[in-house]
Chain A
Amino acid sequence: KCDMSEVLRQRELKPGQSPYRALLDTLELSNSRLSLQLINDNNKVRLLLELYRLQGNMTRVKINELKPLKPRYEVPDVLLSDPITEALSVVAQDENSLVVSLGGKDQRLILSAQPFRLDIVEGSQVVMSLNSRGLLAFEHLRTRKDTISHKISSTVGSMWDSLKKDDDKPGMWEETFKSHTDSKPNGPTSISLDFSLPGVEHVYGIPEHADTLKLKNTDGSDPYRLYNLDVFQYELHNPMALYGAVPVLISHSTDRTMGIFWLNAAETWVDISSNTTMFGKILDFVQVSSEAPQTDVRWMSESGIIDVFIMLGPKPADVFTQYASLTGTQSFPPLSALAYHQCRWNYNDQEDVKTVDQGFDEHDIPYDFIWLDIEHADGKRYFTWDPSKFPQPKEMLQGLMDKRRKLVAIVDPHIKVDSGYKIHNEIRSKNFYVKNKDGGDYEGWCWPGNAGYPDFTNPEMRTWWASQFAYDQYEGSMENQYIWNDMNEPSVFNGPEVTMHKDALHGVWEHRDVHNLYGLYVQKATADGLIQRSEGVQRPFVLTRAFFAGSQRYGAVWTGDNAAEWGHLKISIPMCLSLGLVGISFCGADVGGFFKHPSAELLVRWYQAGAYQPFFRAHAHIDTPRREPWLFGPENTALIREAIRQRYALLPYWYQLFYNAHRTGQPVMRPLWVEYPDDFATFSIEDEYLIGKDLLVHPVTDEGATGVTAYLPGKGEVWYDVHTFQKHDGDQSLYIPVTMSSIPVFQRGGSIICRKDRVRRSSSCMENDPYTLYVALGSQGSAEGELYIDDFHTFSFEEAKQFVHRRLSFSANTLSSRNLAPDSQFSTASWIEKIVIFGGSQPSSATLKSADGTESALEFEFDSTLAVLTLRKPGVNAAADWTIVLR
């Protein structure tokens, strides 16, 4: 199946001596930029290598043709800004090598001239090598032989001879896939480079694939493919491309965590092979154990240039920080977006929306968002409403607003070609559509029939698109309506692999160059529109199916069109974990499964799992029976209600973690190894995970399960079952019996988690409610946590520092709340209702000391069998300083 990709011709290239040689005499070194030329001894084509040391322990390696016939595509708009560089210096040089100091920590980069390779070493350890297997390849731009061969002058004639060999291969100037032809006017342009990671056995990332968290060896199978595609009923445990692509690979060993960010938006393939082969001797002072395991990674892209960011860690948190400094952090969603979303293709009409809304109240189940899929629009003309089904959208939105709830309507990027449709007419008249290879507007089939595709790579187009979300442009829209961008791979029903022809044109660039970036731009333009419609006040919420590196800045993603099968429930965990590792924290899978009809058991288990994943939305295909939470009998209704209520109670923790992700780039949903990087046992775990660092969740993903085996990490640590308050030691695998009532969730000893236990019908209704503090004492009898509060939906937290951020700590029998952001200001009506301490002992008294010095005694209860101490009603404002002393 991968034969169709011409890029994979690269794969025929076997490891061996690289034909590339560095021309050391071309070395140029400015303060922070080192450049020199590489020559391919087979064809004499020269490349330009640029090396940068970036702030925050990163190295950037760029390789382009020295003199390309025309410019090659370099991906814009993904990096936040030009990364800040640091000084480089050459510390040693001989006739075949160059040693460059990378600054701090005794880090050096060794450049070997012939064959060309790069080794990054720290002390006497090689941490990563580039082109050590000689797989650097760079198909230079060339003129088509049959049209110019007679014009070749004698001086380039000899070079031409060496090129001819290449040019004889079929597929270089035209490729066919099924009935589609790719005209390839620029001929072959692919690039490739290998990376060797000594000492590494575990690599992760490069989403999106429906596969294990730990990437598999691809020897003997297809490589992992990154090419955004609208896949119908995707297969599990398959390296095939899905809807989104983030070309970031994370490596981890007990020694070090690193990342490779391959900044290229063209079709990309990644080969992984694990080896134990010995590393060659590079320089005398470099020692490598011959027994060391090693992972080799090879990247191949169809066009563009080689532009790699090597993130050198060394800790997981450092890699996240490094990557965030390049591409930005997760956007901070409005609180309600972290609550529960009720979706279906489709809620049929206004009456249906009203009935479902009432259904939630009748069954006392909270929800914040109801969603409208493509059928809501008038003939799939986005930005419009079906006049018979949704004649009064504002009335509907107002009805939801009266309940403090919200709505999401879909706006896809394919635009119905219809001269009676304003959006289409404007895009056409402004010449904003993507063009076909012959210069006409590109057209393809999608939901509305014949459709055009706006060129979202064009900033003017994006500005215009954003303006269409203004309340006076988007008729019937209101401030509690948010947007969902689907089909933005882009999906073209009659295109090759259900996407756009690679020779379609975005200005001067071919679609082949920008493909994986298209979806990011769609979401960016939409999110910008939502910000602008509120004049910059309100935080947007936009869900996207396609994504790229940097998409985290614009909203949420979901794992696309999954199915109501246990395997799909199971795979949702590694899929979202993989996304979190590469910056995209706001991830979820369709609860219940999109295709097919879930059994009641699967649906309940999925709600229980989804309640503990970042983006929590139920969704269903139009051909499936209805599955609102109350349609499976009173028992299952109660189970689903309880799962959703657990989510709502934990919203303060989710919100604080998202604030943290926004501030620092640390993922919200984390593989265990991120917090336990030295515990080898955690490296392949993907059936359980951490939310932040304090909650460990082990969803039940097997039919008829009566128990799960959970691994509780951390030598000397303790974990508390949040349902039973039972205490377990860390560093053990534990069999936990389960019933249908819940899934195992543990709070880490040493943590304090704030909840709102007064669950109401939407998160907005809970904004001013009091907090309960769950203090889980560690083995040392102490605990720490954070509390973050703001207005929950505007940018004031950022622009006016209007928020509360507090450190809660318990040690030496004293619990206190202290301000983490003294220069911020926000007043909240919320107060501290209750404090529950796990693993405590019975005090004789509990005294609350307020900021003004007043002291008051608190009543408490102590459950001696579970060692749970409950302090009654401290009543202090959540933003205040206070201390509670137990004696």
Chain B
Amino acid sequence: MTCLHLLLTLVFAVSLGTPVEIQRPRGVPLTKKQFYEESKPFTCLDGSRTIPFDRVNDDYCDCKDGSDEPGTAACPNGSFHCTNAGYRPMFIPSSRINDGICDCCDTTDEYNSGAKCENTCKELGRKEREVLQKMAEITKEGFLLKQQLIEEAKKGQQEKQSKVTDMQENKKQLDEKVEALRTVKETAEQPEKEAKERHLKAWEEQKAAIRLEKDKAKMAETFLELDDNADGFVSVSELQSHAELDPDADGTLTEIEAQGLMGGAEQVDTSTFESVWPKIKDKYHSEVSREEADISCLVRCLLCLCVVQAQPTIKTPEKTHEDEEAMPPYDADTQALIDAAQKARDDFEEAEKALREMDDQIRNIEKELSFDFGPDAEFTYLYSQCYELTTSEYIYRLCPFNRVSQKPKYGGSETNLGTWGSWSGPENNKYLLMKYEQGTGCWQGPNRSTTVKLTCGKETVVTSTSEPSRCEYLMEFTTPAVCQEPANIDPSPHDHVEL
């Protein structure tokens, strides 16, 4: 197949509707027509070589840059220009010439493949104009809204700035107040402390006296119990009836042991019993309800054994037999001191809390002020807002500069799809994409993350969500904040022949 497709008569419809014929080789844009002159040898556009003109579009690649075959598929790196009158002109890789697929709406790429292409340029042009028109309207209105947003943001920013300044001032005063109240508090607390200590000490002493009294009564009672024959003496044998006093815990209280407890004496009277009492009082079981005590002892021992075996570190808390008496109320003077100190404390804490709150507020405003809300702060209005989109399965929630989440529509817990990371659009406009990172981890996979794509729209709304890759979400979001100033030109320039 050596057919030559050298020249092509191109028919253009200019805006007046008069056909004009411009001759140039197939696939060459008008801007390059001057390089393809039929009467002269052709020099490759990279200057690498010069060939006879009949080798232009002869279906053999002679130039390294592919410039000798603008209208055939011969060069691997060539490109074909279609005029697409009625729509917009474009270049396609020359590998798409005569490949059986209609690429150019004016059908010029398929001149020898048998592909049945229809000229769709007019239709495409009309549609595009409609879309552009609509887009232009949206952009225009969106841009107006954006101006308002910028205004509001500026105002808001100034307000916040001055609020922070005010608050800083207030804070200073608060700081001083807190310090003053601290001093008041400390001053009031010292006498309070001393009065309380005095009161406590008096009560401790009183308690000790009562305890001693009780011990003596118990001793006397015990003596009477032990003195079975009521002869006024407790004898060795009388003591021996109390096996629990056995010092070596072998189960029997021998005579010698009993004697030992009694300080070597055979018997003791009430006064000498005073020296015996400390040795036995901890072990001694009253004879009243003796039977019961035995059983409970046995049970306790068994339990104790079990407990010891099972949980050797547990200790049974010591039980004091004396009922603790409540501390007597403070006297009026002490109480007055306490009340005064408490009031100073309350005042101080209240002031301190107010200071903390003030700090938090300042921090929050400063944090907000530190966000990159765009070159003109046009994204400020999104801060602390949330936008939802409900799909067939989930409710997606975008809280700009905060987080993205997903919640099953019919119950179930929320999944974090990422928290605010950064603007991540292309270099020329990073404000077209938001990146939310470090969401809930995926099984065997990365942490969830979401890219939010911003497009110009009158309304602020999440328009779609998808998960193009596992655990990487894509959210489409319209906002006036990205609407560009509409170009002040006629939106249908493509009816003209290019120059």
Do A and B interact? yes
Binding site for B on A (CB under 8 A): 348, 352, 364, 388, 402-404, 622-626, 757-761, 764-766, 769-770, 829, 831, 833-834, 872-873, 875, 877
CA distance A835 to B95 in the complex (A): 20
Is residue B54 within 8 Å, beta carbon to beta carbon, of the partner chain? no
Find out whether the CB atom of B2 lies under 8 angstroms from the CB atom of A759.
Answer: no
B90–chain A nearest beta-carbon distance, Å: 13
Find out whether the CB atom of B100 lies under 8 angstroms from the CB atom of A623.
Answer: no
CA distance A364 to B96 in the complex (A): 10
Find out whether the CB atom of A757 lies under 8 angstroms from the CB atom of B60.
Answer: no
Apart from A623-B442, A831-B2, what are 4 other A-B pairs with CB-CB below 8 Å?
A352-B468, A623-B444, A625-B446, A770-B1
Find out whether the CB atom of A623 lies under 8 angstroms from the CB atom of B443.
Answer: yes
* Residues from chain A with Cβ under 8 Å of B445 in the complex: 623-624
Find out whether the CB atom of A759 lies under 8 angstroms from the CB atom of B443.
Answer: no
Find out whether the CB atom of B76 lies under 8 angstroms from the CB atom of A757.
Answer: yes
Is residue B135 within 8 Å, beta carbon to beta carbon, of the partner chain? no
Question: What are 28 of the A-B contact pairs (CB < 8 Å)?
Answer: A348-B467, A352-B468, A364-B93, A388-B392, A402-B101, A403-B101, A404-B99, A404-B100, A623-B443, A623-B444, A623-B471, A624-B469, A625-B446, A625-B469, A625-B472, A626-B468, A626-B469, A758-B76, A761-B95, A761-B99, A761-B101, A764-B100, A769-B73, A831-B2, A833-B60, A873-B60, A875-B1, A875-B2
What are the 3 A-B residue pairs with the smallest beta carbon separation, nearest first? A626-B469, A765-B99, A873-B60
A142–chain B nearest beta-carbon distance, Å: 49
Find out whether the CB atom of A765 lies under 8 angstroms from the CB atom of B101.
Answer: yes
Is residue B74 within 8 Å, beta carbon to beta carbon, of the partner chain? yes
CA distance A26 to B392 in the complex (A): 78
Find out whether the CB atom of B1 lies under 8 angstroms from the CB atom of A829.
Answer: yes
0/1 interface trace, chain B 88-102, chain A, CB 8 Å (1 if under): 000001011001110
A41–chain B nearest beta-carbon distance, Å: 58
Is residue B470 within 8 Å, beta carbon to beta carbon, of the partner chain? yes
Q: Given A623-B443, A625-B446, do A761 and B96 touch, yes or no (CB 8 Å)?
A: yes
* Residues from chain A with Cβ under 8 Å of B472 in the complex: 625-626
B316–chain A nearest beta-carbon distance, Å: 49
B98–chain A nearest beta-carbon distance, Å: 8
CA distance A877 to B1 in the complex (A): 7
A563–chain B nearest beta-carbon distance, Å: 12
Chain A residue, CB-CB nearest to B99: A765
Which positions 51-91 of chain B face chain A at CB distance < 8 Å?
Answer: 58, 60, 73-74, 76
Find out whether the CB atom of B74 lies under 8 angstroms from the CB atom of A758.
Answer: yes
* Residues from chain A with Cβ under 8 Å of B443 in the complex: 623
* Residues from chain A with Cβ under 8 Å of B93 in the complex: 364
Find out whether the CB atom of A759 lies under 8 angstroms from the CB atom of B470.
Answer: no
Chain A residue, CB-CB nearest to B102: A402
A383–chain B nearest beta-carbon distance, Å: 24
Find out whether the CB atom of B73 lies under 8 angstroms from the CB atom of A760.
Answer: yes
B372–chain A nearest beta-carbon distance, Å: 26
A257–chain B nearest beta-carbon distance, Å: 42
- Residue among B93, B95, B472 with the highest chain A CB neighbour number at 10 A: B95
Find out whether the CB atom of B96 lies under 8 angstroms from the CB atom of A760.
Answer: yes
Q: From DSSP, what is the main secondary structure of chain B's interface residues?
A: loop
* Residues from chain A with Cβ under 8 Å of B60 in the complex: 833-834, 872-873
* Residues from chain A with Cβ under 8 Å of B73 in the complex: 758, 760, 769
Chain A residue, CB-CB nearest to B393: A388
A346–chain B nearest beta-carbon distance, Å: 10
Find out whether the CB atom of B95 lies under 8 angstroms from the CB atom of A759.
Answer: yes
Partner of B470, one of A624, A758, A834, A877: A624
A400–chain B nearest beta-carbon distance, Å: 11
Q: Given A622-B470, A759-B76, do A765 and B100 touch, yes or no (CB 8 Å)?
A: yes
Which positions 359-405 of chain B face chain A at CB distance < 8 Å?
Answer: 392
* Residues from chain A with Cβ under 8 Å of B58 in the complex: 873
* Residues from chain B with Cβ under 8 Å of A404 in the complex: 99-101
* Residues from chain A with Cβ under 8 Å of B96 in the complex: 760-761
* Residues from chain B with Cβ under 8 Å of A757 in the complex: 76
CA distance A570 to B469 in the complex (A): 27
* Residues from chain A with Cβ under 8 Å of B2 in the complex: 831, 873, 875
CA distance A364 to B1 in the complex (A): 26
- Residue among B73, B74, B99 with the highest chain A CB neighbour number at 10 A: B99
Which positions 461-475 of chain B face chain A at CB distance < 8 Å?
Answer: 466-472
* Residues from chain A with Cβ under 8 Å of B467 in the complex: 348
Chain A residue, CB-CB nearest to B93: A364
* Residues from chain B with Cβ under 8 Å of A877 in the complex: 1
Find out whether the CB atom of A758 lies under 8 angstroms from the CB atom of B95.
Answer: yes
CA distance A626 to B444 in the complex (A): 15
* Residues from chain A with Cβ under 8 Å of B392 in the complex: 388
Which positions 439-487 of chain B face chain A at CB distance < 8 Å?
Answer: 442-446, 466-472
* Residues from chain A with Cβ under 8 Å of B100 in the complex: 404, 764-765
CA distance A873 to B471 in the complex (A): 53
A260–chain B nearest beta-carbon distance, Å: 42
* Residues from chain B with Cβ under 8 Å of A623 in the complex: 442-445, 470-471
Partner of B99, one of A364, A760, A833, A875: A760
CA distance A873 to B101 in the complex (A): 26
- Residue among A403, A765, A770 with the highest chain B CB neighbour number at 10 A: A765
Chain A residue, CB-CB nearest to B95: A760
Find out whether the CB atom of B1 lies under 8 angstroms from the CB atom of A625.
Answer: no
Chain A residue, CB-CB nearest to B471: A623
* Residues from chain A with Cβ under 8 Å of B101 in the complex: 402-404, 761, 765
CA distance A770 to B59 in the complex (A): 10
CA distance A624 to B101 in the complex (A): 34
* Residues from chain B with Cβ under 8 Å of A759 in the complex: 76, 95
* Residues from chain B with Cβ under 8 Å of A833 in the complex: 60, 74
CA distance A141 to B468 in the complex (A): 58
* Residues from chain A with Cβ under 8 Å of B470 in the complex: 622-625
B298–chain A nearest beta-carbon distance, Å: 52
B196–chain A nearest beta-carbon distance, Å: 66
CA distance A766 to B471 in the complex (A): 39
CA distance A403 to B115 in the complex (A): 12
A192–chain B nearest beta-carbon distance, Å: 42
Chain B residue, CB-CB nearest to A769: B73
A25–chain B nearest beta-carbon distance, Å: 67
CA distance A409 to B470 in the complex (A): 20
A846–chain B nearest beta-carbon distance, Å: 15
Chain B residue, CB-CB nearest to A595: B444
Chain B residue, CB-CB nearest to A631: B469
* Residues from chain B with Cβ under 8 Å of A831 in the complex: 1-2
0/1 interface trace, chain B 121-141, chain A, CB 8 Å (1 if under): 000000000000000000000
B243–chain A nearest beta-carbon distance, Å: 62
CA distance A759 to B76 in the complex (A): 7
B497–chain A nearest beta-carbon distance, Å: 28
Chain A residue, CB-CB nearest to B113: A768
